[in-house]
Structure 1
């Protein structure tokens, strides 16, 4: 999957006719890092992938689905793709991946204690999200408003600005995220 992701990122840039320098200017990511990501020499972090998704105007889940095989109606646990960002302590399972005929998807995510992930802008402005915290505690800041969630809490919102996810407790934070493309 890492190789397919690298190839897809290079393809997205080429589709727009952008040079690495232009993509670096648009994303705020260094040209050398972009080059290494597109060649598959390094795996992108969640933050880096978030910046690229913003530039390419697509949710991260859509990008990851584009490098996976077409899904069936039943998505078996063994077939659900898992992506891990060791640097940030973020693990993402695509429970119900995007499908061309459907607008929603379901993601299970886990953040290790102390994890702090920031996204400067939404990949898709107005993206509807429903976050249901299953385990641990999570501090989620959406458009400057902080929310402290405990197990069973659900936060519903649309993305228009920056977000920040912080696992504030001693145990990992595990949550389900339902994304609905506008």
Structure 2
């Protein structure tokens, strides 16, 4: 008979995400996970599998939360260009530890094929979203047609990744805002 979890899985994942976000995968030990979750090792293994499986579940949970935030942005924006601007300006984690997915890309994309596949899927999802917004903006005239929607989408995703990494080092909000303005000026 399978054991029933007697802990709040969402709260445990929230704590694990914070830990992996702060330390990364390689620097996080099993003892760190025990300390962060309050669970013993066997409970972690029984409920989540290996450290890698727990990391992957953390990434999926983080991405789902980020996608919900992006959906809210899209719902509350009046046009595609404003949506893109809000996507670039979102993410309070940018100033502290960067974006968990961006950090994962720099740490793990070349180390693990499964994680690389997950990250490629995220890239394709974001590229598709940017392409949709750009195509709509180009048809409405708010975004120039100097480049294709695919070229702009790849540029925007790459810029967003860079911003989320660079944002860790910035101490002034005005510098962050200036980078966003400069990056998005290519769409004018």
Q: Same fold (TM over 0.5)?
A: no
Larger % of strand: which? 1
Larger Rg: 2
